Amino acid sequence: MCGIVGYCGPKKASEVLLEGLKRLEYRGYDSAGICVSHKGSFETVKRKGKIKDLREIVPSNMVGNTGIGHTRWATHGEVTDENAHPHYDDSEKIVLVHNGIIENYQVIKKRLIAEGHTFLSDTDSEVISHLVATLYKGNLEVALRETVFLLKGTYGLAVMHKDNPDKIVGVRNGSPLVLGIGENEMFLASDVTAILAHTKQVIYLEDKEIVVITADSYKTFDFHEQELQKKIENIGWDLDQIEKDGYEFFMEKEINEQPESILRAIIGRTDVDGATGHLGGLNMTPAELLNIKRIQIVAAGTSYYAGMVGAYLLESIARIPASTELSSEVRYKNPVVQPDTLYFVVSQSGETADTLYAMRELQRKGGRVLGICNVVGSTIPRESDGGVYIHSGPEIAVASTKAFTSQITVFYILTLILARMRHLSYEAGLRLVSGLESVPEKIKEILADSGELKKIAVKYSKYENFLFLGRGLNYSVALEGALKLKEISYIHAEGYSSAEIKHGPIALINENTPSLFLVPDDDLRDKVINNIKEVKARKGKVIAVAVKGDDEIESIVDDVIWIPKAHSLMYPYLMVVPLQLFAFYMALELDRDVDQPRNLAKSVTVE
């Protein structure tokens, strides 16, 4: 989604802005631009395309030490140079970049046009610069505050005025904005990755807060002119974590990081003595945990599928009724919130608008909502009633991989805690702990042995439609595998419960629609084998992800991707990693943009 960088300091602003925007590329965008102020004038360069295209047209003599930059992910108006940010008012004294959506922009635009304003873009954002101009009486922050009272929607804004060319004013409502504090330099950004190379000292703005920066000062205010004393926080990530570290693609790096990232999610959270787990962030007493009658998990995309694994574990092992809902559907269905239900929102970024708004609606209705997030300091962990960080480290590739395996890790530990408080025996708890702790090593085995998998991916890369089929705990993994494949290879793929295909999808089976079956050696294995035979009987090609030692499978299917044997509840981990690799190799073979697939954004901050 859109990204913002702002800079005030001694350095050449254009370089800081371009570098910051480059680091925001992973969020997904289709055009970019910067504006730099120099000796009382503004110079703006913007265009559709990538940051490297923008860099080509930024003049080397673009001097100036204050500026704002933007990556745009189109919502209102096509992808054109004109619609790229920054945007000016008529007098070209005010310039701004905007993340979010202004829902009432058409009404405002109509009025402004009637008053004689001329618009140069089709964006909702441009109305803001014109509005600020109409309200400006010598103080930009005052004009901006008055402006935001007229806006309906979400915004993260960075604005400059020619009268004070070394100052940037930022405001946040619904779109993230962070202030970076350096030595005689200040930064604004929608995401800390943009400024991590310069400073680790940050202040996260909350909704309805304004920040004013110059090179050597910053002030934060609420919307009622009250100055705020906000806490400076330290970013826990290092620069090398947001770089490729020798890999060609972030996705490849992140898939390979999973043995360590899963370990980070486990460490300090399992208790061998008690055969249980520990999640401090829940902020709940054992008595409160024992009183939970229902668990509802709310999330989007890959996080939703991780939530499905969680709900399955919680219900089948901890014996607590649990369900998963799409966050985009929760807010508007007037959800029934009950006091003995515990709500979890799951989000890698902690900024997904659908999930954030669902959380707020559940909280408004009195629900206790805990977050399971990756990005420290992001909005969901700050606004939730407690929660757990998954500690995956930065996930840069648009396609989520290591976040999924760490999110499910938190659910395994949660299940262990709640199950041990209820029906799970000490011995079974201990088996679960050791099963979980053995996962990183088993994933290492899969990663070390992916040559054959690559050949299979290449062999099947000519097919245009796939079915991903799994059952039980691995049904959600099938859905996640299909999502990975369509996201980065643009191949059409659908995930189903393998039992469900006879109710419809089997009509799609022919020699041109391969099926990828997940075949763990658990209680449902034989039923999955029956489903495979139904597909083979209709001339469907079948790839199986199966457990080493399953001698029967090879004779039934066309190709096998082997995984190590494990505790029967651990197969979601061992099944999903081959599916991530399958999608990755397929996308490589098809020459796709693996890390930034078309039309997608890493952090979806609009509804």
The closest alpha carbon to 569, from 440, 473, 498, belongs to 473
Q: Which sign, positive or negative, has the C-alpha torsion 72, 74, 75, 77?
A: positive
Q: Which of 349, 405, 415, 531 binds ligand M6R (CB under 6 A)?
A: 349
User: Of these residues, 2, 8, 35, 373, which one is catalytic?
Assistant: 2
| In the complex, least distance from residue 376 CB atom to ligand M6R, rounded to whole angstroms | 13
Looking at residues 372 to 431 of the shown chain, list those that interact with ligand M6R (rule: CB under 6 A).
398-400
**How many residues are there in the chain?**
607
Looking at residues 213 to 272 of the shown chain, list those that interact with ligand M6R (rule: CB under 6 A).
none
| In the complex, least distance from residue 374 CB atom to ligand M6R, rounded to whole angstroms | 8
CB nearer ligand M6R, residue 210 or residue 576: 576
Q: Which sign, positive or negative, has the C-alpha torsion 363, 369, 374, 375?
A: positive
Cα 570 to Cα 94, 379, 433, 441, 560, distances in angstroms: 56, 31, 11, 12, 19
The closest alpha carbon to 19, from 51, 45, 47, 63, belongs to 51
| In the complex, least distance from residue 305 CB atom to ligand M6R, rounded to whole angstroms | 8
Stretch that binds ligand M6R, among 48-56, 127-135, 294-302, 492-500 (CB under 6 A): 294-302
DSSP string, 263-321: HHHHTTTEETTTTEE--GGG---HHHHHT--EEEEEE-HHHHHHHHHHHHHHHHTS---
| In the complex, least distance from residue 238 CB atom to ligand M6R, rounded to whole angstroms | 21
CB nearer ligand M6R, residue 446 or residue 482: 482
Task: Tell me if 62 contacts ligand M6R by CB under 6 A.
Answer: no
CB nearer ligand M6R, residue 383 or residue 559: 383
| In the complex, least distance from residue 235 CB atom to ligand M6R, rounded to whole angstroms | 18
CB nearer ligand M6R, residue 190 or residue 352: 352
- Total residues at interface with ligand M6R (CB under 6 A): 16
- Judged by DSSP in three states, 380 sits in helix
DSSP secondary-structure letter at 375? S
Task: Tell me if 303 contacts ligand M6R by CB under 6 A.
Answer: yes
Are 105 and 45 in contact, with CB atoms under 8 Å apart?
A: no
Stated as kind and residue range, the H or E segment containing 434 is helix 426-437
| In the complex, least distance from residue 97 CB atom to ligand M6R, rounded to whole angstroms | 22
Q: What is the CA radius of gyration of the chain?
A: 25
Count of H-run helices and E-run strands, the chain: 20, 27
| In the complex, least distance from residue 380 CB atom to ligand M6R, rounded to whole angstroms | 8
Stretch that binds ligand M6R, among 15-23, 208-216, 295-303, 457-465 (CB under 6 A): 295-303
Task: Tell me if 586 contacts ligand M6R by CB under 6 A.
Answer: no
Stretch that binds ligand M6R, among 189-197, 208-216, 349-357, 557-565 (CB under 6 A): 349-357
- For residues 266 and 433, give the distance between their C-alpha atoms in angstroms, rounded to a whole number: 10
Task: Tell me if 356 contacts ligand M6R by CB under 6 A.
Answer: no
- For residues 464 and 483, give the distance between their C-alpha atoms in angstroms, rounded to a whole number: 14
CB nearer ligand M6R, residue 399 or residue 516: 399
| In the complex, least distance from residue 436 CB atom to ligand M6R, rounded to whole angstroms | 22
CB nearer ligand M6R, residue 378 or residue 531: 378
Task: Tell me if 596 contacts ligand M6R by CB under 6 A.
Answer: no
CB nearer ligand M6R, residue 105 or residue 468: 468
- Sequence-separated (6 or more) residues with CB below 8 Å from residue 114: none
Q: Is 2 a catalytic residue?
A: yes
Q: Is 402 a catalytic residue?
A: no
- For residues 354 and 362, give the distance between their C-alpha atoms in angstroms, rounded to a whole number: 12
Say if residue 208 is exposed, middle or buried (CB neighbours under 10 Å; 0-12, 13-18, 19+). middle
Looking at residues 484 to 513 of the shown chain, list those that interact with ligand M6R (rule: CB under 6 A).
487
Task: Tell me if 352 contacts ligand M6R by CB under 6 A.
Answer: yes
Q: Which of 370, 604, 605, 606 binds ligand M6R (CB under 6 A)?
A: 604
Looking at residues 318 to 347 of the shown chain, list those that interact with ligand M6R (rule: CB under 6 A).
347
| Token pair listed for 337 | 């919130």
CB nearer ligand M6R, residue 125 or residue 406: 406
Residue 174 region, left (φ>0) first, then alpha (ψ -120 to 50), else beta?
left
User: Of these residues, 109, 402, 484, 602, which one is catalytic?
Assistant: 602
| In the complex, least distance from residue 290 CB atom to ligand M6R, rounded to whole angstroms | 30
CB nearer ligand M6R, residue 129 or residue 405: 405
Cα 297 to Cα 103, 324, 326, distances in angstroms: 29, 5, 9
- For residues 57 and 61, give the distance between their C-alpha atoms in angstroms, rounded to a whole number: 11
- For residues 436 and 571, give the distance between their C-alpha atoms in angstroms, rounded to a whole number: 10
Q: Which of 121, 147, 258, 348 binds ligand M6R (CB under 6 A)?
A: 348
Task: Tell me if 301 contacts ligand M6R by CB under 6 A.
Answer: yes
Stretch that binds ligand M6R, among 59-67, 85-93, 261-269, 597-605 (CB under 6 A): 597-605
| In the complex, least distance from residue 353 CB atom to ligand M6R, rounded to whole angstroms | 9
CB nearer ligand M6R, residue 261 or residue 303: 303
What would the x/- binding string for ligand M6R be over residues 437 to 476, using CB under 6 A?
A: ----------------------------------------
Are 249 and 392 in contact, with CB atoms under 8 Å apart?
A: no
Q: Which residues of 497-529 are buried (b: 16+ CB within 10 A; e: fewer)?
A: bbbebeeebbebbeeebbbbbbbbbbebbeebb
DSSP secondary-structure letter at 174? B
Are 311 and 322 in contact, with CB atoms under 8 Å apart?
A: yes
Site residues (CB under 6 A) for ligand M6R?
A: 300-303, 347-349, 352, 355, 398-400, 487, 600, 603-604
Supply the residues annotated as catalytic.
2, 602
